[in-house]
Amino acid sequence: MQSFRTELENPVVEQDIIDLELKIRAFREGKLHDEKFRSLRLARGVYGQRQPGVQMVRIKLPFGKVTFKQLLKIADISDKYASSNLHLTTRQDIQIHYVSLDKTPELWAELEQDDITLREACGNTVRNVTASPTAGIDPKEPFDVSPYAHATFAYFLRNPICQDMGRKFKIAFSATDDDTAFTYIHDLGFIPKLKGEARGFKVMLGGGLGAIPSIAHPVNEFLPEDQLIPFIESTLRVFDRHGERNNRNKARMKFLVQKIGLESLLQLIAEERIANKVKSLDVNRNALRPAIIPEARTFPQVEIINQTHYDTWRESNVFAQKQDGFYGVYIKVLTGDIPTSKARQLVAAIRPYVADEIKITINQGLLLQYVREAALPALFVALDNLGYAIPGFNSVADVTTCPGTDTCNLGISNSTEMARELENLIYDEYEDLILNQDIKIKISGCMNSCGQHGLAQIGFHGSSLKAGAKVIPAAQVLIGGGTFGDGVGRAADKVIKVPSKRVKDVLRRVLNDYSANQQPGETFNAYYDRVGKDHYYQLLKPLADLNNLTDDEFVDWGHQETFQTAIGVGECAGVVIDLVATLLYEADEKQGWAARAFEGKAYADAIYHAYSVFISGAKALLLDKGINSSTQTGIIKEFDLHYVTAHEIQMDGTFNDIVLQINKNEPSAEFAASYLAEAREFLNKVKVKREALVKL
């Protein structure tokens, strides 16, 4: 476990990994509260699996970009530490599974040698920043959003304002008005716009899927490019302070919009601007390493055995880039899973024909770039030999799915095998629909929508049904979601719940009905709007009848045992921990971070760490009184009421006035020095009060 300390060149990363190792040790020894440890490891990409004692590790790949070298390194890591499989996610990450918790620092250190991070891939922080995979090569794009997505990732990585928020925060950049990154379902979404030569973004705020979908609100039609990072920073600061923290089901940005109103939220964001680290930031448009493009040459002549297959593949999986003479090629990846052996074979097969940079797509596939037209036949044959020249990318035959009960703690029923069954159904019975990109099928193992079922034309999420004294695996059927462009989209409607083993019949009925009754040129969603939700309820109602269940329907897809609703068990500490003491330990740690940031003249960071000292200290004493406020603003208010006004803690003024100096002052050296001093003094008072309480 010591080798990474000399191999890593970045001292910040090295300290991160050492810190994870120390936190794991403290957890194992019962010195770190389970909930706090969970927060710490999630922020470092380590997620407890359904199976006890092992972890899923999520590898953060900003806007899905991965080089050949990085992909091969991840494959090596999966072989060494995990299950020799790479799972591509809808957030353009790669996940590996069945990793020992104690091996995660070592694993992380090896990845960092190739500039790959786990940091903030999970947890209550800014998740992987996603973007349209075609960014940079899209013929329709006003400009390449990749540098802006990368700048957002880099600016907020390890940024103190978003390390311990009430919930996760998702950001997406679409390349064009087609909105292929689904900005309308994100906490913040950005669509590129031009005003003459000036670059900017349409801003979408407050979207999200999950059990209660919410479509984002357009809040700015043209945010100048230099205001992108400042606006995100102000928004995150407000979300951190005002967002819900006790009830995770109400802790996303969409609920804060509902709680205080969009206008009030935007006013808070505007007022927070004074505290920002930057008021304007010019993004370096040339920050990213350009892809290495294969040289022009004579490509080998190959025999296309099935010309129809090639023609269909080329029509559905290949498009002309904005760069003359080059093509983008999509690879459809079944359930997003690539065995490591296949990953190595794939890199070897495509290396002569494509740029050395692959994009993971938002529907769990891959995008190859800079393929010369003369190379397409040879590339097709190379892919076909590996089973990766399947036509129908992003069509009705390209089903998106999360891992479901294969590995996820929250999964209710199996989604991956269901996806395989539905894809096979399309290819076997609806070959004429393979090129149809109007209808999308998406599946999640539960209502949380990691498989994006909520934005599909035809969606399913895992559930269960009571059948007498037994429980059967079920699928909630959703119809009518979709993307309309320029930030406009809608969530699918819940129609009916059926036994899981009947989803193939659901799909048959929905597709047959649409084929038989659509008007010329009528899209699926237009047809849905015309016939209405009840039409589909009546159409599918016979499939919800539980009076004719077969024995097979009590067994989930891909399983042999009788179904039961159960979730996995994560790690747990061996002893009960004093949560108040843990919060004070955390306040001490943040005070140290504040001091180091101040010494490094990172005044805005120092101020925010000091702010966190105030909050952690106040929360600790409030817990001693049994008061657990759900927001940071609530903590400030309750502390004034129960400690300052009650004269249990002496302060010069109110706690509110002292703490909220943070958004009334520029982050100068002078203000940082005084604010840190007040935080130190406050924490000392809290410790004295705590010691007195313990002695009672």
**Radius of gyration of the chain measured on its C-alpha atoms:** 26
Residue 443 sits in a domain whose CATH number is: 3.30.413.10
SS (HEC) of 68-83: HHHHHHHHHHHHHHCC
- Alpha-carbon separation of residue 113 from 5, 117, 218, 410 (angstroms): 12, 9, 40, 33
Q: Do 405 and 550 share a structural domain? A: yes
3-class DSSP state of 479 = strand
Q: Do 508 and 408 share a structural domain? A: yes
Q: Is residue 202 within 8 Å of 175, Cβ to Cβ?
A: no
Domain end marker among 275, 293, 317? 275
Domain with 380, as residue range(s), is: 307-385
Q: Do 250 and 141 share a structural domain? A: yes
pLDDT score recorded for residue 696: 55
Q: Do 156 and 86 share a structural domain? A: no
Of 332, 162, 294, 164, whose CA–CA distance to 234 is shortest?
162
- Alpha-carbon separation of residue 505 from 475, 498, 508 (angstroms): 12, 10, 5
Amino acid (1-letter code) at residue 244: E
Q: Do 158 and 102 share a structural domain? A: no
Amino acid (1-letter code) at residue 620: A
Q: Do 219 and 95 share a structural domain? A: no
Please report whether residue 286 resides in a domain.
no
Please report whether residue 564 resides in a domain.
no
Q: Which residues, including other chains, have CB under 8 Å from residue 461's CB and lie 6 or more apart?
A: 443, 444, 445, 446, 447, 449, 451, 453, 475, 476, 478
Q: Helices 416-429 and 503-517: crossing angle, nearest 10°?
A: 40
Question: What tokens does 389 get?
Answer: 């020249």
Q: Do 548 and 408 share a structural domain? A: yes
pLDDT score recorded for residue 44: 80
| 444 CA to centre of own chain | 14
Please report whether residue 282 resides in a domain.
no
Please report whether residue 284 resides in a domain.
no
How many domains does one find in the chain?
5
Q: Is 375 left (phi over 0), alpha (psi -120 to 50) or beta?
A: alpha
Place of tokens 């797509």: 361
Please report whether residue 574 resides in a domain.
no
pLDDT tens track for 308-319? 999 999 999 999
Bridging pattern class, strands 130-131 and 171-173 = parallel
Residue 332 sits in a domain whose CATH number is: 3.30.70.3340
Rounded to an integer, what distance in angstroms lies between the CA atom of residue 633 and that of residue 653?
A: 17
First-last CA distance in the chain: 44
Q: Do 407 and 368 share a structural domain? A: no
Domain end marker among 324, 350, 385? 385
Q: Is residue 326 within 8 Å of 333, Cβ to Cβ?
A: no
Residue 672 sits in a domain whose CATH number is: 1.20.120.330
Residue 65 exposure: Cα atoms within 13 Å on the Cβ side: 23
Q: Do 415 and 337 share a structural domain? A: no
The list of the chain residues with pLDDT below 70 reads 1-9, 564-578, 694-696
Helix (H) or strand (E) holding 48: strand 46-48
Residue 51 sits in a domain whose CATH number is: 3.90.480.20
Please report whether residue 503 resides in a domain.
yes
Rounded to an integer, what distance in angstroms lies between the CA atom of residue 199 and that of residue 141?
A: 12
Opening angle at CA 168, ends 165 and 173, nearest 5: 125
Please report whether residue 298 resides in a domain.
no
Q: Do 340 and 255 share a structural domain? A: no
pLDDT score recorded for residue 8: 56
Please report whether residue 365 resides in a domain.
yes
pLDDT tens track for 103-117? 998 999 999 999 999
Q: Helices 228-242 and 253-260: crossing angle, nearest 10°?
A: 70
The pTM (predicted TM-score) of the whole model is: 0.92
Domain end marker among 112, 143, 175? 112
Contacts 24+ apart (CB under 8 A), 640-647: 643/618, 643/689
Q: Do 10 and 42 share a structural domain? A: yes
Kindly tell me the burial class for residue 627, based on how many C-beta atoms sit within 10 Å of its own C-beta (0-12, 13-18, 19 or more): middle
Q: Do 584 and 534 share a structural domain? A: no
